[in-house]
A and B are shown apart, each in its own frame.
Chain A
Amino acid sequence: MHIADGVLPPAVAVGTAVVSAGIVLFSIRRLHYEDYPRIAVMTAAFFVASLIHVPLGPTSVHLLLPGLVGIVLGPLSFLAIALGLVLQCFLFQFGGVTALGANALMMGLPAMLAGYIFRALSGKHIGRIALVAGVAGAAGVVIAALILAILLAISGEVFWGVAKVAVLAHIPVAIVEGGVSAFAVSFLYRVKPELLKGMA
């Protein structure tokens, strides 16, 4: 899902970088030292999940964990995902340097939205919590795929076909993500519910 260098036009790359930097600064202002371990664990989880690629037809996809990261970290999820993307870019050359802002927007915004969806719709019953977490996780992946399609469509007609393939390829990922989020959040609710109370 990572966008490589040279795909996005310069205006889009600069614009998305500025917006991403603004959201990261907004997240840092709400940061407390007690949040560091949680952010580290979620960044590591995102880092590992997006490195493991599963081939799917002509392309390959990977888990994004927007549901889990967004629900556990809330507004700080953008910071965790941006940090994970920076490390992947400089350590493994996954995704281009110029497309860091776009990649962060594409994967960070859905995580924040998933967190908001969970906080708005969840309840006290574990079944409802698991269902809402699953829906939030799946919705996060679908939104990420749509943002990717929009960014590719802006980049030129050459990428319209790739945009359609990207959205279709992420539909099975959305189903898997929904299941993963539902199981993980229901487990956390049973074992350590204070983790799901949100941050800042």
Chain B
Amino acid sequence: MKVEKTFFCLFFLLTCILSVSFGAYGEENVPPSSSSGSEKVYQDGKSLCNDLSAELQKQNEELHREIRQLKREILMLRQEITRPDVRDIIGGIGFVFGLCGVGFYFHTRWILRRKE
């Protein structure tokens, strides 16, 4: 009887000690509460949607700005490529004087025919 009593007291004591120690360990490993301030706690889905759409709109505007800049640069490059070179200009002047020479040639032939 005495042995059983002692055993039950010891078992009860052990149980108490174990429960207290597990409880303390559980409390130590609880993650820190989200009161650091960097994360927002959304109470409802609507404010989360609004924030997300504002962020998307901002990124959209930045993308549009960059696309406009790219289009401007493409236009400037196209203008530079199609601009006539100095060789083209000199060639055109040569064409004009060549036509003048052709005109003189036919006029001279007409004069010579008249003399005959």
* Chain A hits for B93, CB < 8 A: 44, 47-48
Binary CB contact string for chain B from 86 to 116 against chain A (1 if under 8 A, 0 otherwise): 0011011101110110011001000000000
Given A33-B104, A48-B89, A51-B89, A92-B84 contact (CB < 8 Å): yes
Question: What class of interface size applies to chain B in its complex with A?
Answer: 10 to 19
CB of B88 within 8 A of CB of A33, answer: no
Q: How far is the CA of A44 from the CA of B94 in the complex (A)?
A: 9
Q: How far is the CA of A40 from the CA of B88 in the complex (A)?
A: 17
Give min CB distance, A87 to chain B, whole Å.
Answer: 6
Binary CB contact string for chain A from 37 to 66 against chain B (1 if under 8 A, 0 otherwise): 101100110011001010000000000000
Enumerate A80-97 residues with CB–CB distance to B below 8 Å: 83-84, 87-88, 91-92
CB of B96 within 8 A of CB of A43, answer: yes
User: Which of B92, B103, B104 is close to A47, meaning CB atoms less than 8 Å apart?
Assistant: B92
Q: How far is the CA of A141 from the CA of B99 in the complex (A)?
A: 28
User: Which of B96, B104, B107 is close to A87, meaning CB atoms less than 8 Å apart?
Assistant: B96
CB of A91 within 8 A of CB of B97, answer: no
Give min CB distance, B62 to chain A, whole Å.
Answer: 25
CB of A44 within 8 A of CB of B97, answer: yes
Binary CB contact string for chain B from 65 to 101 against chain A (1 if under 8 A, 0 otherwise): 0000000000000000001100011011101110110
CB of B96 within 8 A of CB of A44, answer: yes
CB of A51 within 8 A of CB of B103, answer: no
* Chain B hits for A40, CB < 8 A: 96-97, 99-100
* Chain B hits for A36, CB < 8 A: 100, 103-104, 107
Binary CB contact string for chain B from 41 to 84 against chain A (1 if under 8 A, 0 otherwise): 00000000000000000000000000000000000000000011
Q: How far is the CA of A199 from the CA of B84 in the complex (A)?
A: 33
B residues sitting closer than 8 Å to A (CB atoms) are 83-84, 88-89, 91-93, 95-97, 99-100, 103-104, 107
User: Which 9 interchain pairs have the tightest Cβ spacing?
Assistant: A40-B100, A33-B107, A44-B93, A44-B96, A43-B96, A36-B100, A36-B103, A47-B92, A92-B84
Q: List 25 A-B contacts (CB under 8 A).
A: A36-B100, A36-B103, A36-B104, A36-B107, A39-B100, A40-B99, A40-B100, A44-B92, A44-B93, A44-B97, A47-B93, A48-B89, A48-B92, A51-B84, A51-B92, A53-B83, A83-B99, A84-B96, A87-B92, A87-B95, A87-B96, A88-B92, A91-B92, A92-B84, A92-B88
